[in-house]
């Protein structure tokens, strides 16, 4: 394996780890918000930022690898076909289970203003729609120049929109600023331009992690710090905290807790995002938990059942993926499910073993 391939493999593993970490954080926070009385809302929304930046990072590398200037039109068709097949089948199943609300726009996840579907889907679709244009623009610029220009455009756009359009709202706003999700996606594309991640001090990623968690905390409805301009300053710093945490982890090999299971879960995070709320509802309907939960036994029930539910979400995404973009060979499908089952159990046990050590 050459050096670039090794770096790509390492960064791919870190990307999956971060996605796994983010979706588990979303899972936990959504449960806390909906089934406890703890005032801890807004954290899940913050961790979703990792999906925006890692999507930008992955899509830029994919476009760079497959882009053919002479066949731009056919390339675009192939690009969007691949992305939409990735999104729509699972999303339409979710819509079917929830009654296809919001008409055709909702069905296509194009309801960009106050969507009734999970807001992340129309938000990431916005990023996908402009990603070829972003790629062509950023590709022509250096790493530093692209970072400066994208930041200036983001600043000017927000200055104008705050003056004439009022407050940002879903899904044209994210964490207090207009189109911040697209800016974070753009930062992911810029991060992908940085080909050599030189090893840096172990303290840098630790400081970046602290900075990221602080920015998430300060953009929730219950911030710790109160100072003039906080409403704009902290949300503006937030995307750079996301950028820095990814840059620092790509640049340094540090211990990542629960690494085996988070990497695996990260590969199937989309189904977990879409269907985890239904799992909570099933537990509630089956009278396994109350709203809010009122005993240690109920909390323990959620802890025991969650790994099983997450396994089913992962398996379901694997099945849908095989049936839509795979070879549709049922023998291979059963073998892949069997492999996933074994890997899931081994990764889970390995992660628990690390805790015991």
User: Per-residue DSSP letters for 250-264?
Assistant: HH-----TTHHHHHH
Instruction: Judge if 134 and 184 occupy the same domain.
Output: yes
Instruction: Judge if 155 and 296 occupy the same domain.
Output: no
Q: Among 175-184, 193-202, 302-311, 339-348, which is the least confidently predicted range?
A: 193-202
Last residue of a domain, one of 210, 225, 251: 251
Q: Among 9-18, 83-92, 235-244, which is the least confidently predicted range?
A: 9-18
Crossing angle for the helix pair 259-267 and 269-285, to the nearest 10 degrees = 100
Q: In this model, does residue 303 exceed pLDDT 50?
A: yes
Q: In this model, does residue 64 exceed pLDDT 50?
A: yes
In a domain, 14, yes or no: no
Most confident of 68-72, 160-164, 171-175, 275-279: 275-279
What average pLDDT does the segment 283-307 reach? 94
Question: For residues 210 and 105, which has the higher predicted lDDT (pLDDT)?
Answer: 210
Most confident of 254-258, 311-315, 349-353: 311-315
Q: How far apart are the first and last CA of the chain?
A: 32
CA nearest to 288, candidates 275, 276, 306: 306
- pLDDT tens per residue across span 16-50: 999 999 999 999 999 999 999 998 989 999 999 99
In a domain, 13, yes or no: no
Instruction: Judge if 244 and 263 occupy the same domain.
Output: no
Instruction: Judge if 111 and 143 occupy the same domain.
Output: yes
Instruction: Judge if 240 and 289 occupy the same domain.
Output: no
Mean pLDDT of the chain: 90
Instruction: Judge if 228 and 303 occupy the same domain.
Output: no
Q: In this model, does residue 126 exceed pLDDT 70?
A: yes
Q: In this model, does residue 166 exceed pLDDT 90?
A: no
In a domain, 172, yes or no: yes
**Confidence band, pLDDT 50/70/90 cuts, at residue 316:** very high
**Planar angle of CA 130, 74, 182, nearest 5 degrees:** 10
In a domain, 180, yes or no: yes
In a domain, 29, yes or no: no
Question: For residues 196 and 103, which has the higher predicted lDDT (pLDDT)?
Answer: 103
Q: In this model, does residue 3 exceed pLDDT 50?
A: no
Distance CA 174, CA 171 (A): 7
What average pLDDT does the segment 76-82 reach? 91
Instruction: Judge if 310 and 329 occupy the same domain.
Output: yes
Residue 7: per-residue pLDDT: 56
What average pLDDT does the segment 278-294 reach? 94
Residue 171: per-residue pLDDT: 74
Residue 2: per-residue pLDDT: 52
What average pLDDT does the segment 258-281 reach? 96
Instruction: Judge if 221 and 270 occupy the same domain.
Output: no
Distance CA 137, CA 225 (A): 38
What average pLDDT does the segment 159-169 reach? 87
Instruction: Judge if 205 and 156 occupy the same domain.
Output: yes
How many domains does one find in the chain? 2
Last residue of a domain, one of 251, 285, 301: 251
Last residue of a domain, one of 251, 284, 310: 251
Q: Give percent of the chain above pLDDT 90.
A: 68
In a domain, 18, yes or no: no
Using CB atoms within 10 Å of the CB of residue 199, give its burial: 0 to 12 exposed, 13 to 18 middle, 19+ buried.
exposed
**Confidence band, pLDDT 50/70/90 cuts, at residue 354:** low
C-alpha 56: how far from its chain's center? 10
Domain housing 279 = 259-356
- pLDDT tens per residue across span 81-92: 999 999 999 999
What average pLDDT does the segment 307-320 reach? 97
Q: In this model, does residue 233 exceed pLDDT 80?
A: yes
Instruction: Judge if 109 and 90 occupy the same domain.
Output: yes
What average pLDDT does the segment 254-266 reach? 92
In a domain, 11, yes or no: no
Q: In this model, does residue 1 exceed pLDDT 80?
A: no
In a domain, 27, yes or no: no
Residue 259: per-residue pLDDT: 92
Instruction: Judge if 345 and 242 occupy the same domain.
Output: no
Instruction: Judge if 148 and 282 occupy the same domain.
Output: no
What average pLDDT does the segment 53-75 reach? 86
Three-class DSSP category at 176: coil
pTM strictly above 0.75: yes
């Amino acid at each position: 394996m050459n050096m670039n391939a090794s770096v790509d493999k390492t960064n791919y593993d870190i990307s999956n780890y971060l996605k796994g970490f983010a979706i588990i954080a979303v899972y936990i926070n959504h449960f806390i918000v909906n089934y406890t009385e703890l005032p801890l809302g807004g954290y899940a929304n913050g961790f979703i930022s990792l999906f925006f930046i890692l999507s930008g990072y992955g899509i830029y590398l994919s476009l760079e690898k497959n882009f053919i200037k002479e066949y731009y039109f056919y390339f675009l068709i192939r690009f969007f076909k691949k992305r939409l097949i990735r999104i729509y089948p699972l999303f339409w199943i979710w819509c079917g289970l929830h009654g296809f609300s919001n008409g055709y726009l909702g069905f296509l996840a194009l309801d960009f203003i106050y969507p009734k579907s999970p807001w992340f889907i129309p938000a990431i679709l916005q990023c996908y729609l402009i990603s070829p244009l972003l790629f062509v623009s950023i590709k022509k610029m250096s790493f530093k120049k692209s970072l400066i220009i994208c930041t200036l455009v983001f600043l000017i756009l927000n200055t104008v929109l705050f003056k004439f359009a009022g407050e940002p709202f879903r899904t044209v706003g994210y964490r207090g600023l207009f189109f911040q999700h697209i800016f974070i996606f753009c930062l992911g594309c810029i991060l992908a331009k940085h080909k050599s991640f030189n090893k840096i001090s172990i303290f840098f990623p630790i400081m970046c992690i602290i900075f990221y968690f602080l920015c998430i905390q300060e953009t929730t409805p219950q911030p710790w710090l109160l100072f003039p301009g906080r409403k704009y300053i902290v949300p503006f710093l937030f995307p750079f905290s996301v950028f820095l945490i990814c840059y620092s982890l790509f640049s340094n090999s540090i211990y990542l807790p629960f690494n085996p299971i988070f990497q695996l879960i990260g590969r199937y995070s989309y189904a977990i995002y879409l269907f985890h709320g239904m799992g909570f509802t099933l537990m509630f309907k089956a009278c396994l938990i109350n709203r809010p939960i009122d005993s240690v036994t109920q909390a323990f029930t959620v802890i025991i059942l969650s790994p099983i539910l997450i396994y089913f979400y992962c398996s379901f995404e694997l099945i849908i993926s095989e049936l839509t973009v795979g070879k549709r060979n049922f023998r291979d499908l059963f073998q892949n499910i069997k492999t996933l089952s074994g890997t899931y159990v081994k990764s889970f046990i390995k992660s628990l073993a690390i805790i015991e050590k």
